[in-house]
């Protein structure tokens, strides 16, 4: 998984968030299907023995994760050096103070990796390991199962205000159109990687996804081979959820 984006080299679609948890800082990376890009660095203002400093540090990490989570990426890999408990302490903080992140239909999926991920060189080494590739596969597969549950519940709902769109044209009309009060509000856009790769309208789809993200619509490209991806393929490869308010 290359780290530097060469000219003409496409980053692909978002897959996961990688958080390198060190003694004095946390470095967040966005993992795309083709590259890994640095996102943000959060410094620990104090020491690991200062409970208040660690609390504030963990809260800053959660706040830094929010924008990517809001986009729809829910797979998070926590990397920390061997013989440290940084990842476990962060997960404990999440469970105690942010239960919404580990419970409910929109929960995130957390995995732990042994190793440092605070520099480009460290991330390059980590992402080449079999362990990391397996973690990515397992974490995103679990997320895909959650997405499939969301999908099936929405497809089978008796709520007359719930709207499901199955075509690019209908989805564009809803998301790109005027946000009038009497129109359904788009909530989630899901499509398979195969739908995107096979489309002759890639720029059109990327533009739609960017505008959807800007309008707080959760967007997710799903592996076509995953259970959720296979179900999406049966529905045409793209689905948009909306609701009449």
Q: What is the pTM of this model?
A: 0.75
Give CA–CA dist 145/140, Å, rounded.
9
Contact 240, 165 (CB under 8 A): yes
Contacts 24+ apart (CB under 8 A), 48-52: 48/23
Q: Which domains does the chain have, with CATH numbers?
A: 14-142 (3.30.420.60), 157-243 (3.30.1330.30)
Model pLDDT for residues 57-68, shown as the tens digit of each residue: 999 999 999 988
- Percent of the residues in the chain that have a pLDDT greater than 70, as a whole number: 95
Model pLDDT for residues 70-115, shown as the tens digit of each residue: 888 889 999 999 999 999 999 999 999 999 999 876 789 999 999 9
Over residues 25-40, mean pLDDT: 93
Q: Which residues of 197-222 are buried (b: 16+ CB within 10 A; e: fewer)?
A: eeeeeeeebeebbeebbeeebbbbbb
């Amino acid at each position: 998984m290359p780290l530097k984006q060469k000219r003409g080299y496409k980053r692909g679609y978002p897959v996961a968030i990688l958080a390198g948890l060190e003694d004095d800082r946390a470095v967040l990376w966005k993992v795309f299907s083709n590259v890994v890009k640095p996102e943000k660095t959060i410094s620990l203002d104090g020491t690991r023995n200062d409970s208040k400093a660690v609390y504030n540090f963990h809260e800053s990490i959660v706040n830094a994760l929010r924008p990517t989570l809001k986009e729809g990426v829910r797979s998070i890999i926590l990397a920390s050096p061997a013989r440290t408990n940084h990842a476990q302490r962060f997960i404990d903080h999440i469970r105690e103070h942010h239960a919404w992140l580990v419970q409910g239909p929109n929960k995130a999926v957390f995995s732990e990796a042994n190793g440092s991920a605070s520099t480009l060189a460290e991330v390059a080494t980590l992402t080449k390991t079999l362990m990391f590739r397996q973690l990515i596969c397992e974490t995103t597969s679990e997320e895909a199962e959650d997405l499939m549950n969301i999908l099936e519940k929405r497809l089978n709902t008796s709520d007359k205000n719930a709207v499901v769109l199955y075509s690019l044209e209908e989805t564009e009309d809803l998301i790109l159109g005027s946000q009038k009060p009497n129109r359904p509000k788009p909530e989630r856009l899901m499509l398979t990687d195969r739908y995107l790769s096979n489309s002759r309208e890639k720029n059109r789809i990327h533009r739609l996804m960017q505008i959807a993200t800007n309008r707080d619509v959760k967007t997710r490209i799903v592996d076509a081979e995953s259970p959720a991806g296979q179900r999406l393929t049966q529905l045409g490869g793209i689905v948009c959820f909306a609701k009449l308010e």
